[in-house]
């Protein structure tokens, strides 16, 4: 797989992120999970390494690399700590990319460099109490009043909300009492009337920051509309299509982290006078895990490569996210099984990977929504042929 998609630059990046993940993140990941503690210092180190803006062009302060490179970075972080991986993915794919993809020159100039350099953290608020999968049911409203929008509403489950400097959010644009549909807007945290709730107490991704957002007569300037009013809905769908590749990458990392632990445990643990790796039942589990992982890797890196070549990736990114998140659940579960009772105990860490894996099939579109997207695309293709 690597031979096909990786350049020398990709390999260097992989080595650098891998080294950082092993030396700086792995030793503290378990404790941060236990305490539900956001790793401010690690994010600052990621920023120094240029990892908060991997796919952002260098003219806007980013590393100027491609989607394959970004996929490598999130994948490698996920091998040791999914919480840190999702922090980077939400910041990059959802908090920064909408500005690069659809923002005005003014928004790009003002926000991209500080975001890409990690001086500001980005977030994306789409989900509401009554609008998750059904994003069209969004109730948050941005009413135009001469030179500004007045925003009222609520968002939930917003990753990075508590540490973000900038939040992209969706709201219905109301002009002269008319509902013009859902658009993307940018708000700086600290703006009067914008409040964040307490951190959610989560099953997994516990060291990532997830909160509600409350908008009460929040005033934002007209230039903070991100993209075109008439294309708001399709634009955020495009953002999510790209974001799904990074969730697929995180699923690869989560699966690989658990698989590696299970493989080495099987070579150490003895039962009935031999290591458990000698039992065919364990070997078959390892073989299935390795095969699932390899298949997911192909799907995820292929989707990333297609995006870099400028292809439409709606179907491929949904397939990559769906498959990788579901095999991450299977692999992390089997990793616990291979560890036996120790797998259920925190010290052995595979239970953390299992808890983290579950979120992958929910965030950025549930598995059911991915199947709907894939079915829609394949039926469209069949009708056209
Ligand atoms: C840890 C975490 C972090 C998150 N981060 C963010 C973030 O940064 N920004 C953000 O905006 N959101 C975020 N989310 C929200 C996430 O994207 C939503 O939870 C997800 O899209 C599902 O929406 P919902 O929770 O409202 O579930 P619902 O939409 O209510 O779905 C409930 C169930 O019904 C199924 N379902 C719904 N509609 C259909 C249908 N048409 N056909 C078949 N089945 C269907 C779903 O698949 C699911 O199984 C996060 C969530 C979590 C858990």
* pLDDT tens-digit map of 157-180: 999 999 999 999 999 999 999 999
pLDDT bracket for residue 356 (50, 70, 90): very high
Q: Which atom of ligand 1 is nearest to the CA of 364?
A: 17
Q: Separation of 138 CA from ligand 1 center, angstroms? A: 13
Q: Which atom of ligand 1 is nearest to the CA of 94?
A: 8
Query: Does the reported pTM lie above 0.95?
Result: yes
Any ligand 1 atom below 6 A from CB of 316 = no
Per-residue confidence (pLDDT) for residue 232, from 0 to 100: 86
Any ligand 1 atom below 6 A from CB of 363 = yes
Per-residue confidence (pLDDT) for residue 230, from 0 to 100: 81
For residue 32, the number of C-alpha atoms closer than 13 Å in the C-beta half-sphere is: 22
Nearest CA to ligand 1 atom 43: 368
Any ligand 1 atom below 6 A from CB of 70 = no
Judge whether residue 192 has pLDDT over 90. Answer: yes
For residue 295, the number of C-alpha atoms closer than 13 Å in the C-beta half-sphere is: 15
Per-residue confidence (pLDDT) for residue 61, from 0 to 100: 97
Distance CA 56, CA 108 (A): 11
CA nearest neighbour of 82 among 214, 198, 252, 294: 252
Class (C level, CATH) for 2-121 = mainly alpha
Q: Separation of 158 CA from ligand 1 center, angstroms? A: 12
Radius of gyration of the chain from its Cα atoms, rounded to whole angstroms: 21
Segment 234-254 shows an average pLDDT of: 96
In the chain, domain spans: 2-121, 123-230, 233-384
Per-residue confidence (pLDDT) for residue 340, from 0 to 100: 98
Q: Which atom of ligand 1 is nearest to the CA of 365?
A: 21
Q: Which atom of ligand 1 is nearest to the CA of 204?
A: 1
Phi and psi torsions of 175, nearest 5°: -125, 130
Judge whether residue 213 has pLDDT over 90. Answer: yes
Question: Under CATH, domain 123-230 is a member of which superfamily?
Answer: Butyryl-CoA Dehydrogenase, subunit A, domain 2 (2.40.110.10)
Per-residue pLDDT tens over the stretch 109-155: 999 999 999 999 999 999 999 999 999 999 999 999 999 999 999 99
Per-residue confidence (pLDDT) for residue 189, from 0 to 100: 97
Residue 2 is inside which H or E element, if any?
helix 2-5
Best mutation site among 89, 121, 138, 157 for ligand 1 pocket (most ligand atoms within 8 Å of CB)? 157
Per-residue pLDDT tens over the stretch 38-96: 999 999 999 999 999 999 999 999 999 999 999 999 999 999 999 999 999 999 999 99
Judge whether residue 1 has pLDDT over 80. Answer: no
Any ligand 1 atom below 6 A from CB of 88 = no
- Percentage of the chain with pLDDT > 90? 96
Number of H helices, E strands in the chain: 14, 10
Distance CA 382, CA 385 (A): 5
Q: Separation of 308 CA from ligand 1 center, angstroms? A: 28
Q: Which residues of 141-156 are buried (b: 16+ CB within 10 A; e: fewer)?
A: bbbbeeebbbbbbbbb
Average pLDDT, the chain: 97
Best mutation site among 36, 38, 126, 127 for ligand 1 pocket (most ligand atoms within 8 Å of CB)? 127
Whether the CB-CB separation of 172 and 179 falls below 8 Å is answered with yes
pLDDT bracket for residue 4 (50, 70, 90): confident
Whether the CB-CB separation of 341 and 354 falls below 8 Å is answered with no
Per-residue pLDDT tens over the stretch 253-302: 999 999 999 999 999 999 999 999 999 999 999 999 999 999 999 999 99
- Percentage of the chain with pLDDT > 70? 100
With both helix axes pointing from N to C terminus, report the angle between 26-35 and 350-360 in degrees, rounded to the nearest 10: 70
Class (C level, CATH) for 233-384 = mainly alpha
Which residues, including other chains, have CB under 8 Å from residue 196's CB and lie 6 or more apart? 161, 162, 189, 211, 212, 213, 214
Any ligand 1 atom below 6 A from CB of 224 = no
> So which residues are the catalytic ones?
364
């Amino acid at each position: 797989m690597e031979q096909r998609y990786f350049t020398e630059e990709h390999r260097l990046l992989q080595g650098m992120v891998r080294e950082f993940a092993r030396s700086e993140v792995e030793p503290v990941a378990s404790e941060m999970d236990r305490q539900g503690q956001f790793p401010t210092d690690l994010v600052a180190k990621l920023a120094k390494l240029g990892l908060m803006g991997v796919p952002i062009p260098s003219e806007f302060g980013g590393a100027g690399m491609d989607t394959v490179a970004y996929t490598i970075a999130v994948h490698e972080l996920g091998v040791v700590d999914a919480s840190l991986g999702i922090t980077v993915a939400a910041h990059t794919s959802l908090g920064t990319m909408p500005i690069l993809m659809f923002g005005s020159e003014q928004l790009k100039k003002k926000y991209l460099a500080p975001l890409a350099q990690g001086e500001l953290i980005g977030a994306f608020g789409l989900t509401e109490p009554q609008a998750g999968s059904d994003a069209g049911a969004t109730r948050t409203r941005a009413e135009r009043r001469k030179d500004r929008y007045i925003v009222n509403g609520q968002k939930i489950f917003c990753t990075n909300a508590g540490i973000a400097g900038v939040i992209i959010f969706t709201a219905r644009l109301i002009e002269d009492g008319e509902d013009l549909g859902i658009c993307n807007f940018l708000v700086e945290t600290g703006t009067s009337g914008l409040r964040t709730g307490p951190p959610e107490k989560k099953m997994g991704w516990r060291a990532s920051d997830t909160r509600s957002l409350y908008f009460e007569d929040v005033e934002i300037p007209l230039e903070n509309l991100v993209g075109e009013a008439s294309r708001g809905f399709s634009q955020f769908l495009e953002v999510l299509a790209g974001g799904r590749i990074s969730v697929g990458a995180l699923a690869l990392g989560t699966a690989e982290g658990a698989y590696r632990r299970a493989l080495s445990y099987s070579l150490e643990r003895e039962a009935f006078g031999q290591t458990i790796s000698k039992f065919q039942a364990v070997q078959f589990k390892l073989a299935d895990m390795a095969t699932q992982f390899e298949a997911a890797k192909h799907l995820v890196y292929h989707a990333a490569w297609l995006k870099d070549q400028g292809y439409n990736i709606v179907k491929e990114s949904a397939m990559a996210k769906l498959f990788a998140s579901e095999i991450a659940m299977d692999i992390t579960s089997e990793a616990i099984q291979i560890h036996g009772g120790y797998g259920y105990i925190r010290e052995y860490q595979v239970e953390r990977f299992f808890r983290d894996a579950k979120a992958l099939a929910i965030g950025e579109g549930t598995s059911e929504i991915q199947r709907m997207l894939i079915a829609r695309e394949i039926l469209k293709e069949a009708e056209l042929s």
